[in-house]
Chain A
Amino acid sequence: MEVGSSMRLDELQPGGRALISEVRGKPLFISRVCALGFTPGTEVLMVRNHRRGPLIAYLRDTLVALGRPEAAGVRLLARQQRPVAEERG
């Protein structure tokens, strides 16, 4: 895996959306984060992210607070400028 090719969740600006590419960390962390909905391919919306302190992301109808070090374990595919339209019908 090339280092630096992906963005970390804590780098996503408030209001930004992106797709999750992978989650890294210990099994407990991965299982917790995945069960809350952070699975590869899911779109997250950053709701609150200050330079320091924990952040809040929104996905699957849920607001999730993540500590800053924890958020770094969630990797994003790429920055997406436009909101992604829902494609379910």
Chain B
Amino acid sequence: MQAIEPGAELRVALAGQPNTGKSTLFNRLTGLNQHVGNWPGKTVEKKEGSFSVNGFRGQVIDLPGTYSLTANSLEEKIARDFLINQGADVVVVVVDASQLERSLYMAVEVLLLPVKVVVALNMVDVAEKMGLSLDSKALAASLRVPVVPMAAAKGRGMEELLETLIRVSAQAGPVQERGARLEQAFEEMVGSVREIIHGAVPRPYTESWMALKLVEQDGEAAEIMKARLDDQSWRALQDLLAGRQDALAAGSAARFEWIKEALSSAAQEKERQTGVFTRWGFDRAATHPLWGKLIAGAVLILSVLATYIACLPPMTLGLGLLIMPNILRNALSGELPGWLLAMVCDGILTGLGVATCVAAFIAGVFLVLGFLEDIGYLARLSFVFDRFMRRLGLHGKSFIPLTMGFVCNIMAVTGTRVIDGWRQRLITLLLAPLVPCKGLLVVISFVSVVFFGPDAALVLAALAVVMAGQLLLTSFLLRRGLVKGEDCGLVMELPPYHKPNFRTIWSYAVSRVRAFLRHGYWIIVIAAFFTWVGVYYPDGQIETSYLARFGRAVEPFGRLMGMDWRLLMTFLVAFSSKEATLGAMAVIYGAGNTSRTAIEGLYMDQGLMMNIQTQLGAFLTTAGISQASALAFLFAIFFSLPCLGTLAAIHAETGSYKWTLGALAYYLFTSVFMGAAAYQAGLLIFR
């Protein structure tokens, strides 16, 4: 590796366990000069950024936070492949000084690879407060890599880190092997394996790393060597490794021994139970089966309020876009051809307005969520609701994404990234469409109040009960047979509480919003546009539009649910976006003072409720929809046609048409089935 000249690019990778402060350090280094994408072909986030200090320019990559570098999870494999393939000139392993023994585990994993390493001993401020004195020089000496004490949240130690990075990257010559300390744990075993694989290890793997991983039963290492070894050597290798299922645990134990040894000279003896337990007073309540749930409930309610406040400023932008058509129509009618004005107002601006409002909401939600995560509370939510989620066949980590589904299902689907273990994640994201989003809840409460008056509460209760049943059933079907793969259940660190770092929270929210703007946003816009095309063409009359024709064509089918073409059309619009449903109804039933093809300004709930509540209510009651049909309609849209954006998110997260179309088919079926069942029930009840 060549020395880095001023002006050259230094490639730095940040590795480390979750919650050690990688992102904080990343944000410090790069400011907002960062780009969030996905690892090629994977749905794991890839954060890259650049920095420039004193003529040195560098690229930083924030690797996924992982506890180790085995091949057992996607995140670990990504981090490990990146490091092995020399993706970086220097690897910074961030460790948490207040939880040093555990967080050094990742450092040891990286030390086993032939890469240049600098250990960032982060959170020394916390360690100091705990009365822990750490000798970074001694630690550096025993680990034989530079160790830089720092407090990323406060910017402490940044210069020294940069200097060290530049110095280390300039060192010439190959990196020394550092695994000898571990190989002793397996006695001559590693040596014997090395003999067998000698000469057959493909670059860039090293023989010692490969041998160690083979001993530790690493599936990927075995696969690589199987392809490289002749039959005889492969069989010899297998004989040697057979029956050592305990090797993985033994290897971990040996790593911790190594760490203990390194720490014995570096860390001063301390009381075992200080530190983490200083705030146990609150945690005692926050993890209590009863109090914990009450606290969680209060936190959730406050979070909803905070979300509404946080999303207010960008929301005005979206609402502004929704009001625009009114202004334009007044100003420009007669000056522009009718179709053009309609297209701009109804086809484009409304879609942009809705999507912007959703983006505003996403910003609000992730600011609040980022806050809860940053102070360390989020893991407690998963803990407290674990038992509840187990009843659905899930576990605690599914709670947060599914709860976000009440705001927007797209968010729930992408939010499942917090779940480790593909199987659990897939099940959760396929269940997400069952959670009624806020757009849908507005429709449901509005329509049920219009048609059932005081009995609306009963209708809502019925929906809730049936929803619980469907959740249970769907989850059961998914777990039994449909979804395969591995899952490690709930194994989760409860991180110590920290003061919030608003820089981290901000950049987290920004990256989530950017991700939405890249994808979901435009899907909503495009769906709205095509919906408009469907109701406007061919002749500008909704009754004879393409969508209406389609509605009439499938009307016989709709009879099952007691729905005529107008309700069916509403149903189809709900598929494009739940927020658009009431607006579409208003147009389709000819309520309001709008032109008959305008789905204008009616998209978003607030504006919508003000605009049309009274008129639409009155119209609907005289539109000849029976109570049974209304009930059918409610059940059909509640169970639970995913909107297009959600389907797109499912596709983005699973990368599979099979699951996406499977979800669509399943939910379309349950939707029609529930609608038909509700209609039949309604016919009996409302005679």
A34 engages B248 (CB within 8 Å): yes
Question: Looking at the complex, which of B95-103, B472-480, B547-555 is the stretch in contact with chain A?
Answer: B95-103
Asked whether any CB of chain B lies closer than 8 Å to the CB of A4, the reply is: no
B289 engages A53 (CB within 8 Å): yes
Which residues of B sit under 8 angstroms from A42, Cβ to Cβ? 253, 256
Interface centre among B68, B260, B491, by most chain A C-beta atoms within 10 angstroms, is B491
A41 engages B253 (CB within 8 Å): yes
Interface centre among A32, A56, A88, by most chain B C-beta atoms within 10 angstroms, is A32
> Which residues from 369 to 403 on chain B have a C-beta closer than 8 Å to any C-beta of chain A?
379, 382-383, 386-387, 390, 395-396
> Which residues from 230 to 251 on chain B have a C-beta closer than 8 Å to any C-beta of chain A?
246, 248-250
In the assembled complex, the CB of A22 is this many whole angstroms from the nearest CB of chain B, namely 7
Asked whether any CB of chain A lies closer than 8 Å to the CB of B217, the reply is: yes
In the assembled complex, the CB of A59 is this many whole angstroms from the nearest CB of chain B, namely 8
Which residues of B sit under 8 angstroms from A65, Cβ to Cβ? 287, 379, 382-383, 386, 396, 490-494
Which residues of B sit under 8 angstroms from A28, Cβ to Cβ? 72-73, 421, 486-488
B386 engages A54 (CB within 8 Å): yes
B488 engages A29 (CB within 8 Å): yes
Asked whether any CB of chain A lies closer than 8 Å to the CB of B269, the reply is: yes
A61 engages B101 (CB within 8 Å): yes
Which residues of A sit under 8 angstroms from B106, Cβ to Cβ? 35
Bound-state Cα–Cα, A4 to B461, Å: 47
Which residues of B sit under 8 angstroms from A54, Cβ to Cβ? 383, 386-387, 396, 490
Bound-state Cα–Cα, A70 to B490, Å: 7
Q: Chain A, 74-89, contact with B by CB distance < 8 Å: what is the 0/1 string?
A: 0000000000001011
Interface centre among B252, B387, B420, by most chain A C-beta atoms within 10 angstroms, is B252
Asked whether any CB of chain B lies closer than 8 Å to the CB of A40, the reply is: yes
Q: Chain B, 399-424, contact with A by CB distance < 8 Å: what is the 0/1 string?
A: 00000000000000000000011000
Q: Which residue of A lies closest to B100 (CB)?
A: A61
Q: Which residue of B lies closest to A67 (CB)?
A: B490
B493 engages A26 (CB within 8 Å): no
Bound-state Cα–Cα, A34 to B251, Å: 9
Q: Chain A, 38-66, contact with B by CB distance < 8 Å: what is the 0/1 string?
A: 01111000011010111010101111111
Given contacts A30-B248, A35-B105, A54-B383, are A88 and B264 in contact (CB under 8 A)?
yes
Bound-state Cα–Cα, A26 to B245, Å: 10
B287 engages A35 (CB within 8 Å): no
A62 engages B386 (CB within 8 Å): no
Within the complex, which residue of A33, A41, A63 is in contact with B276, where a contact is CB–CB below 8 Å?
A63
Asked whether any CB of chain B lies closer than 8 Å to the CB of A23, the reply is: yes
Q: Which residue of A lies closest to B109 (CB)?
A: A35
Which residues of A sit under 8 angstroms from B469, Cβ to Cβ? none
Bound-state Cα–Cα, A50 to B290, Å: 11
A63 engages B486 (CB within 8 Å): no
A61 engages B383 (CB within 8 Å): no
Bound-state Cα–Cα, A30 to B260, Å: 21
Bound-state Cα–Cα, A23 to B486, Å: 17
A70 engages B489 (CB within 8 Å): yes
In the assembled complex, the CB of A23 is this many whole angstroms from the nearest CB of chain B, namely 6
Asked whether any CB of chain B lies closer than 8 Å to the CB of A16, the reply is: no
Given contacts A26-B486, A31-B68, are A64 and B276 in contact (CB under 8 A)?
no
Within the complex, which residue of A31, A35, A61 is in contact with B98, where a contact is CB–CB below 8 Å?
A61
In the assembled complex, the CB of B67 is this many whole angstroms from the nearest CB of chain A, namely 4
> Which residues from 15 to 31 on chain A have a C-beta closer than 8 Å to any C-beta of chain B?
22-23, 25-31
Asked whether any CB of chain A lies closer than 8 Å to the CB of B70, the reply is: yes
Q: Which residue of A lies closest to B66 (CB)?
A: A35
Within the complex, which residue of A48, A58, A63, A88 is in contact with B269, where a contact is CB–CB below 8 Å?
A88
Asked whether any CB of chain A lies closer than 8 Å to the CB of B313, the reply is: no
Q: Which residue of A lies closest to B253 (CB)?
A: A39
Bound-state Cα–Cα, A35 to B492, Å: 11
Which residues of B sit under 8 angstroms from A32, Cβ to Cβ? 67-68, 72-73, 420, 488, 491
B488 engages A40 (CB within 8 Å): no
Asked whether any CB of chain A lies closer than 8 Å to the CB of B275, the reply is: yes
Which residues of B sit under 8 angstroms from A29, Cβ to Cβ? 488-489, 491
Q: Which residue of B lies closest to A25 (CB)?
A: B488
Given contacts A54-B387, A88-B269, are A63 and B493 in contact (CB under 8 A)?
yes
Asked whether any CB of chain A lies closer than 8 Å to the CB of B272, the reply is: yes
Which residues of A sit under 8 angstroms from B382, Cβ to Cβ? 65
> Which residues from 466 to 523 on chain B have a C-beta closer than 8 Å to any C-beta of chain A?
486-494, 496
Given contacts A29-B489, A63-B276, A67-B396, are A40 and B99 in contact (CB under 8 A)?
no
B249 engages A23 (CB within 8 Å): yes
Asked whether any CB of chain A lies closer than 8 Å to the CB of B338, the reply is: no
Bound-state Cα–Cα, A82 to B421, Å: 37
Which residues of A sit under 8 angstroms from B383, Cβ to Cβ? 54, 56, 65
In the assembled complex, the CB of A62 is this many whole angstroms from the nearest CB of chain B, namely 5
Within the complex, which residue of A26, A39, A89 is in contact with B488, where a contact is CB–CB below 8 Å?
A26
Q: List 29 A-B contacts (CB under 8 A).
A: A23-B249, A25-B488, A28-B486, A28-B487, A31-B68, A34-B252, A35-B70, A35-B105, A37-B102, A37-B105, A37-B256, A39-B249, A39-B253, A40-B250, A40-B253, A54-B387, A54-B490, A61-B99, A62-B276, A64-B491, A65-B379, A65-B396, A66-B491, A67-B386, A67-B489, A67-B490, A70-B488, A70-B490, A86-B272
Which 6 residue pairs of A and B lie closest in terms of their CB atoms, listed nearest first?
A67-B490, A34-B252, A35-B67, A35-B68, A39-B253, A53-B387
Interface residues of A (CB under 8 A from B): 22-23, 25-37, 39-42, 47-48, 50, 52-54, 56, 58, 60-67, 69-70, 86, 88-89
